[in-house]
Structure 1
Amino acid sequence: MIGLMSGTSLDGLDICYCSFQNTNGKWQYSISATKTIKYPLQLTNQLKEAHKYTAEEITALDFSYGKYLGEQVKRFVSEHGIETDYVASHGHTVLHNPTQGYTLQIGKGAAIAAYSGIPCISDFRSGDVSRGGQGAPLVPIGDKLLFQEFDICLNLGGIANISYDDNTSNRVAYDICVCNMMLNHLAGLAGKEYDFNGDLGKTGQVISEMLQELENLEYYIQPSPKSLGREWFESHIMPILNRYAPYTPASQLRTTYMHIAARIAHDCNQLKKPTLLVTGGGARNAFLIELIKQKTEAKIIIPDSKTIDYKEALIFAFLGVLYLQNEPGALASVTGANSNSIAGCLYY
């Protein structure tokens, strides 16, 4: 399988070539080749602004982005001299409003299949949303079946999300708070693409009033299942950031780091579980990890670099496997849907 992932932080396309095997009911995986492709500036801007597009413009981008993904897969296969059975693509989320019954991930699966020459499984979220679920997160089924030796799985991407088994072995997962989406925005105010290792944030001062406003957001007291998206960031986080714009980006970053670490520690400490696997781009941010370690009781485990960077692409490849096996990939215990469902749609 080849797994494709494009996250809310817009740092590029992750490609993961991997194999899966089920032995005596236990899934195992291996990662053979990976690549992250930085988006061209024009495509980055299109994906960033797509939620403002007309229906016709979004449709055109859906197809053209699918073509782009298919071409990147074809080039990746050629570069590595590999053969693959299927491509599984998350797509790029443009709209996500499950409470109103819709979500949209663009990157047309039919175009990926056509331009790569490889069957493509895509559109993983809409079936769950149509069953009353959040359509997110979907990674927890992979956490449960591929990373079961860890008590808690935490992903620090554009949004920080958590996954664990409850006392009845049902998987529970939800989005904790925005993460790299907010950090990258603030780093951009200082002319940086991102805050490498938290070096800029470390130099700032905590803005106590801003931290209090962030901590008081109503989302944090809502029960799961729950999920976040760009819309929530723009409607709830951006007004706070705008109010504290007179402060330096470094101090806004320092405050944001404290907030993210506090939210993660609050939720993890309530579980009283011993091990916490941390992946995603934020796992490479030394300052953020230091703060989380200071506040969190569980032992934090940072895996190898491929797992840090490509765990989500790996798990979407695995969701493709589950689709082919006719097994549920979207868990009602995670998303709040009225039933588990097989996630995805296959284009030959």
Structure 2
Amino acid sequence: MKLYKVVGIMSGTSLDGLDLAYCQLRRKKDQWEFEIKTTESVTYSKEMQNELKDAIHLSAEKLLLLHNEYGIRLGKNVKDFITQNDLEVDFIASHGHTSHHRPELGFTFQLGSGQHLANASGHKVICDFRSNDLALGGQGAPLVPIGDRLLFSEYDFCLNLGGISNISFESRGSRIAYDIGLANMILNYITRKIGLDYDKNGALAKSGTINPNMLKKLNDLNYYLLPHPKSIGYEWFLEEVVPIVDDTEDSTENLLHTAVHHICEKIAQQVALNSNKKTQKLLITGGGALNSFLIETIRQKLSSNIDVVVPEKKLIEFKEALVFAFMGVLRSEREVNVLKTVTGATRDSSSGVIFLPN
């Protein structure tokens, strides 16, 4: 019945900012309970967005410098958050920001040095949740499904719409999860060409029409043919998707409309492949859940037996930060927090590296 008081922090591939969630978690008998008490989103400046986006091109020396600097920045952000809200905290659980993700080559890298974060915040830090799984032959992703299984078991499917879309569900007693494909990453890339961070409520996308040639090229991407476990990163987006967008001469509205239909078609295909005829509940979280046209289109493409649930805004925006807080709790308990059925590793693991402040 121990109560854990944790700040979970998450920076996603959509580059919209840093999410901080002060969460309280406890286990009653065999059931974990949680409450998201206090939250904050720290918007990235254009300079910070560009630094993180372009980190993939840095030399090893400059990447490590950014890793340390970003760790200090995270530490200061969390310290301010704790101080301003007068929070009692056991530790910080940080995902960091993924700059490199090449599981096929055996590596992934999350910016935000744990030691620098711990020193700058003055609190114990648990981070680097992915590397151990890579060492065990896994993809190091997705990680959120342990939270889906233990915190959100009332839903048949959990769909996250961040920069990337990923899905999680139970199949024959095992948790299955993988990156479906694109989500906000392509939408934000298109809007940033005209100086907008994002398309509010999908209004621009809704006013457009489908570009058949672009839709076919997106639908034909080889990634969609691969079996799971599988995951994608910014490298894949740059190499495979950006050329399709850049080579398509059309209005911003039509590019966005086409991208939305592509995203939703691929989601609907994966849900259909793994659903049965009874009514099933699909939970949608992540920034894309706030895009009303995207949600409307998903509903249109899904079977009528799928009940789409869009929760309160706090859970939409901070579910991933909550789950990383929970992963830190499981690591503290030395319990499994990364599932081999999700990542393809040789075994389940209790992952995360612990840093103490000095």
For 1:315-334, list aligned pairs within 5 A. Answer: 315-334=323-342
- Answering whether residue 151 of structure 2 is matched by residue 143 of structure 1, we say no
| Aligned counterpart, 1:2 | 7
| Aligned counterpart, 2:193 | 189
Unaligned runs of 5+ in 2: 1-5
What is the one-letter code of the residue matched to 1:293?
Answer: R
For 1:216-295, list aligned pairs within 5 A. Answer: 216-244=220-248, 246-273=249-276, 274-295=280-301
- Aligned to 2:48, the other structure's residue is in SS state helix
Unaligned runs of 5+ in 1: none
| 1:323 Cα deviation from its structure 2 partner | 0.4
Following the alignment from structure 1 to structure 2, what is the Cα–Cα distance between the partners of residues 166 and 225? Answer: 14
Following the alignment from structure 2 to structure 1, what is the Cα–Cα distance between the partners of residues 226 and 45? Answer: 38
For 1:1-348, list aligned pairs within 5 A. Answer: 1-167=6-172, 169-244=173-248, 246-273=249-276, 274-297=280-303, 298-348=306-356
Asked if the contact 1:178–1:228 (Cα under 8 Å) also holds between the matched residues in 2, the reply is: no
| 1:39 Cα deviation from its structure 2 partner | 1.5
How many percent of aligned residue pairs carry the same amino acid?
45
Following the alignment from structure 1 to structure 2, what is the Cα–Cα distance between the partners of residues 3 and 191? Answer: 31
Following TM superposition, the consecutive aligned residue runs of length 4 or more in structure 1 with deviations greater than 3 angstroms are none
| 1:182 Cα deviation from its structure 2 partner | 0.4
Q: TM-score, normalised by structure 1?
A: 0.98
- Aligned to 2:195, the other structure's residue is in SS state coil
Q: TM-score, normalised by structure 2?
A: 0.95
What is the one-letter code of the residue matched to 1:226?
Answer: K
| 1:191 Cα deviation from its structure 2 partner | 2.1
| 1:43 Cα deviation from its structure 2 partner | 1.8
Following the alignment from structure 2 to structure 1, what is the Cα–Cα distance between the partners of residues 63 and 207? Answer: 41
Following the alignment from structure 2 to structure 1, what is the Cα–Cα distance between the partners of residues 46 and 200? Answer: 20
Following the alignment from structure 1 to structure 2, what is the Cα–Cα distance between the partners of residues 43 and 293? Answer: 35
Following the alignment from structure 1 to structure 2, what is the Cα–Cα distance between the partners of residues 70 and 131? Answer: 29
Asked if the contact 1:159–1:181 (Cα under 8 Å) also holds between the matched residues in 2, the reply is: yes
Deviations 1:2-36 (A, max 9, x none): 00000001100000000111111110001110000
What is the one-letter code of the residue matched to 1:287?
Answer: F
- Aligned to 1:10, the other structure's residue is in SS state coil
| 1:42 Cα deviation from its structure 2 partner | 2.1
What is the one-letter code of the residue matched to 1:137?
Answer: P
